[in-house]
Amino acid sequence: MKTLIILSHPTLESSGSQQFLVNSIKDNQDVTLHHLESVYPDGVINREVEQELLKTHQRIIFQFPFYWYSSPALLKEWQDVVFGGSAFYTPQGTILAGKQFGLVVNIGVSKNEYRAGGRESFTIDELTRPYQAIAKHMEMTYLPVLGIHQFSYLSEAEKKALLTDYQYYLTGVHPASLSHRTDWLIHELNRVKKESQSTEKNGTIDRIVEEISSRQQELLELKEALKEY
Amino acid sequence: MKTLIILSHPTLESSGSQQFLVNSIKDNQDVTLHHLESVYPDGVINREVEQELLKTHQRIIFQFPFYWYSSPALLKEWQDVVFGGSAFYTPQGTILAGKQFGLVVNIGVSKNEYRAGGRESFTIDELTRPYQAIAKHMEMTYLPVLGIHQFSYLSEAEKKALLTDYQYYLTGVHPASLSHRTDWLIHELNRVKKESQSTEKNGTIDRIVEEISSRQQELLELKEALKEY
On chain A, the residues whose CB falls within 8 A of the CB of B43 are: 43
Q: Residue B69: closest CA among chain A residues belongs to which residue?
A: A130
B67: DSSP letter: B
Nearest-10 crossing angle of helices A178-195, A156-171: 100
Average pLDDT, chain B: 95
Write down the pTM of the prediction: 0.94
What count of Cα atoms within 13 Å lies in the side-chain half-sphere of residue A213? Answer: 10
* CA dist list (Å): A144 to A7, A124, A165, B20: 18, 10, 12, 41
Average of pLDDT values for B120-131? Answer: 97
The closest CB to that of A70, out of B72, B76, B126, belongs to B76
- % of chain A with per-residue pLDDT over 90: 85
Count A/B contacts: CB-CB distance under 8 Å: 77
pLDDT of residue A197: 84
pLDDT of residue A192: 86
pLDDT of residue B132: 98
On chain B, the residues whose CB falls within 8 A of the CB of A67 are: 76, 79-80
Lowest mean pLDDT among A84-93, B125-134, B220-229: B220-229
pLDDT-derived band at B31 (thresholds 50, 70, 90) equals very high
Q: Of residues A26 and B101, which shows the higher confidence score?
A: B101
> For an interface test with B, which of A45, A76, A142 has the most B Cβ atoms less than 10 Å from its Cβ?
A76
Whether residue B92 has pLDDT greater than 90: no
**Other C-beta atoms within 10 Å of A175: how many?**
10
Whether residue B229 has pLDDT greater than 90: no
What's the pLDDT tens digit per position in A21-43? 999 998 889 999 999 999 999 99
Whether residue B64 has pLDDT greater than 90: yes
What's the pLDDT tens digit per position in B129-159? 999 999 999 999 999 999 999 999 999 999 9
pLDDT of residue B196: 83
Average of pLDDT values for B158-175? Answer: 96
Average of pLDDT values for A211-229? Answer: 89
Whether residue A48 has pLDDT greater than 90: yes
**Other C-beta atoms within 10 Å of A212: how many?**
15
Whether residue B4 has pLDDT greater than 90: yes
> For an interface test with B, which of A8, A67, A78, A123 has the most B Cβ atoms less than 10 Å from its Cβ?
A67
pLDDT of residue A228: 79
Candidates A142, A150, A163; CA nearest to A120 is: A150
Q: Residue A119: closest CA among chain B residues belongs to which residue?
A: B137
Average of pLDDT values for B42-53? Answer: 97
Average of pLDDT values for B80-90? Answer: 95
Whether residue A83 has pLDDT greater than 90: yes
**Other C-beta atoms within 10 Å of A75: how many?**
23
pLDDT of residue B85: 94
Lowest mean pLDDT among A50-59, A72-81, B198-207: B198-207
Q: Residue A134: closest CA among chain B residues belongs to which residue?
A: B68
Candidates B124, B67, B106, B132; CA nearest to A77 is: B67
